[in-house]
Amino acid sequence: MRPFDTPDTVLLECYYTDSILKFRLTFPPNYPERPPVVQFLTDVFHPLISQQDGTFNLAPRFRPWKPTDHHVFDVLHWIKAAFKKHALDDIKEFDCLNKEAFRYHDTTSSFAALATQSSMLSQSASALFDKDHPSMAGKGSHSMLFRELKPEHLSSLRKQLGLSEWVDSAEMREGKPSPSS
């Protein structure tokens, strides 16, 4: 552990390091009387996330949902917090949509391996980009689609927007000049 780490940051950095987790928020017609539905589009191994459809259980944090007290920013904060050690430790079995992930309480090493694997898979092209991704099939016009850009297309877009090229952190450590230098 580094001097500034807490158990929460170590867990987040170890199990879910560099995860790129896409999810959908769906607001019911009677929102804010009813909470939004959170559905992960990325497969992720977590006790509160259903392996069948990616549904995320808000109940541990919002039981009951209070429309005057609970807001979308609270939901977003809970999604992030749910991946930290204190939240994982406080999860009750009856709240789990993924019972296998709940076994974290019994076998941390198994949980670590599966959570780390899902984190690594979340970085793959098939998880990142929506072309032919089954979770995006037939979705409405309110969705945001992600597609991979070829380096030359990205460079052209960056120039059009007046943005400089990104510098790889490894190149900076090696003292190589940036492309815009």
Is residue 24 domain-shared with residue 46, that is, in the same domain? yes
Question: Which pLDDT score, from 0 to 100, does residue 9 have?
Answer: 45
Nearest CA-CA partner of 43 in 31, 51, 55: 51
Q: How many structural domains are present in the chain?
A: 2
**Torsions phi, psi for 176 (to 5 deg):** -75, 145
Same domain, 113 and 30: yes
Q: What is the pLDDT of residue 46?
A: 94
Let me know if residue 2 belongs to a domain: no
Q: What is the dihedral of CA 33, 34, 38, 39, to 10 degrees?
A: -140
**Does residue 65 share a domain with residue 96?**
yes
Q: Which helix or strand (DSSP H or E) is residue 40 part of?
A: strand 37-40
> Which pair of structure tokens corresponds to residue 157?
């877009």
The answer to whether 19 and 79 are in contact (CB under 8 A) is no
Domain match, 89 and 178 both: no
Write out the two tokens for 181. Answer: 């230098």
Task: Say whether both 134 and 58 belong to one domain.
Answer: yes
- Domain carrying residue 78: 7-142
Helix (H) or strand (E) holding 24: strand 23-26
**Rounded to two decimals, what is the model's pTM?**
0.70
Pair 75, 154 in one domain: no
Query: What pLDDT does residue 37 have?
Result: 97
Per-10-residue mean pLDDT, the chain, length 181: 46 67 93 96 92 96 96 96 86 93 79 83 78 52 70 85 73 57 47
CATH number of the domain enclosing 78: 3.10.110.10
Exposure class string for 26-37: b at 16+ Cβ within 10 A, else e: eeeeeebeebbe
Q: In angstroms, rounded to a whole number, what is the distance separating the alpha carbons of residues 37 and 44?
A: 17
Residues 56 and 126 in one domain: yes
Do the domain assignments include residue 37?
Answer: yes
CA distance 116 to 64: 32
CA dihedral 36, 134, 80, 72 (to 10 degrees): -20
Is residue 166 in a domain? yes
Indicate whether 130 and 180 sit together in one domain.
no
Same domain? 158 vs 138: no
- Both 130 and 67 in one domain: the answer is yes
